[in-house]
Amino acid sequence: MSALFEPYRLRDLTIPNRVWMAPMCQYSATPEGPETGAPNDWHFAHYAARAAGGTGLILVEATAVSPEGRITPYDLGIWNDAQVEALRRITRFLVSQGTIPGIQLAHAGRKSSTDLPWEGGAPIGPDALGWQPVGASPLPFDEKHPVPTELTADQISDVVGQFADAARRALDAGFEIAEIHGAHGYLINGFLSPHSNHRTDAYGGSYENRVRFALEVVDAVREVWPEDKPLFFRISATDWLADGGWSADDTVRFAADLHAHGIDLLDVSTGGNVSGVRIPTGPGYQVPFAARVKAATSLPVGAVGMITDPEQAEKILANGEADAVLLGRELLRNPSWARQAARELGGEVRVPNQYHRSV
């Protein structure tokens, strides 16, 4: 059997294959009013198509734990019950197709309050549906972003509680997996990296202090997330700086800490915390970081980043570099990538009765 189409078990949950959809923001939610942050017909059609296409696990895009935690005013949120009800529509359909529904819980930190990417993505203020960003330290992401307000210890505690509340709502909405977003320069990543964390209190300075907030979030979410359900963490394995940033060595060390605190899989990405840094992209360019964590720790890992070809994905798993692959842009291009890959590799995926003529 193809390794890509072997089921994968974490805790009491079996994921039908190793073709997983990475969280990708759609920036398509209503920005204000009673339906703020709730998914709509676009989100339903988007995720439903990938489930019908055979994807084993779909991680719904970065979903903000508070209004101020959104990247843009058009992001999904999970801070109220109206959002929960709208998310249930999506999870019900995913389950009906044999796909595991997952959700990424997020706070954008100093990179919040920006315009739509296709409108330029520039920071916006209260006069344009924006707000004042917060961060680990009063250091802007770049010269275009405003100086974020440094979170106090009490405010950090509040955000930890928001992640726990979001996890409770995610469970109520029907999700089987929750992922904590600790990557790409957003709030948790901003605390982890010495490039963006210049604090002098218990949340800054040493490695132990810089990871404190992240582990507090993990502990709070794990406490309310059922023991039989997996919890993921997405990490930027490197800031891509020669020195002065978060490194691959830090990631390996942190992976062991995360595992000890109840994380079941590390979703390994890179970058996003340093503006203008040069990233040497190419097919599978982030896979070596996942492979290093897998070789050095007992924590399962997912690989992501320019994985586009079925044979490429199969080789990553067959070589033991990762336990699953997460596809992003390729699933935007081809919602039925999993079914196509199964045909090429001799694997099997569930095909909806309505699509049997396509087999």
234 vs 232: CA distance, rounded Å: 7
241 vs 273: CA distance, rounded Å: 10
Q: Which of 179, 264, 274, 181 is nearest to 228 (CA)?
A: 264
How do beta strands 177-182 and 134-135 pair?
unpaired
3-state class (DSSP) for residue 37: coil
Whether 268 contacts 302, CB under 8 Å: yes
Whether 327 contacts 305, CB under 8 Å: no
90 vs 156: CA distance, rounded Å: 31
Q: Which of 151, 212, 214 is nearest to 183 (CA)?
A: 214
Q: Which amino acid is at 32?
A: E
- Give the pLDDT confidence score for residue 271 in this predicted structure: 98
Record the tokens describing residue 152, joined without a space: 């106090």
183 vs 257: CA distance, rounded Å: 16
How far the first Cα of the chain sits from its last, in Å, is 18
- Give the pLDDT confidence score for residue 358 in this predicted structure: 82
Find the CATH number of the domain harbouring 127.
3.20.20.70
CA of 147: how far to CAs of 133, 136, 138, 153, in Å? 8, 11, 6, 19
256 vs 264: CA distance, rounded Å: 11
Q: Which of 193, 201, 106, 190 is nearest to 148 (CA)?
A: 190
For the annotated catalytic residues, the residue numbers are: 186
| pLDDT per residue as tens, the chain (359 positions) | 899 999 999 999 999 999 999 999 999 999 999 999 999 999 999 999 999 999 999 999 999 999 999 999 999 999 999 999 999 999 999 999 999 999 999 999 999 999 999 999 999 999 999 999 999 999 999 999 999 999 999 999 999 999 999 999 999 999 999 999 999 999 999 999 999 999 999 999 999 999 999 999 999 999 999 999 999 999 999 999 999 999 999 999 999 999 999 999 999 999 999 999 999 999 999 999 999 999 999 999 999 999 999 999 999 999 999 999 999 999 999 999 999 999 999 999 999 999 988 87
Q: E strands within the chain?
A: 8-10, 13-15, 19-21, 57-64, 100-106, 134-135, 149-150, 177-182, 231-236, 265-269, 301-304, 324-327
- Give the pLDDT confidence score for residue 292 in this predicted structure: 98
307 vs 300: CA distance, rounded Å: 18
3-state class (DSSP) for residue 145: coil
Q: How many domains does the chain have?
A: 1
For residue 57, the enclosing domain spans 3-358
Query: Which pTM was predicted?
Result: 0.98
Q: Which amino acid is at 129?
A: L
Kind plus residue range of the DSSP H or E element containing 297: none
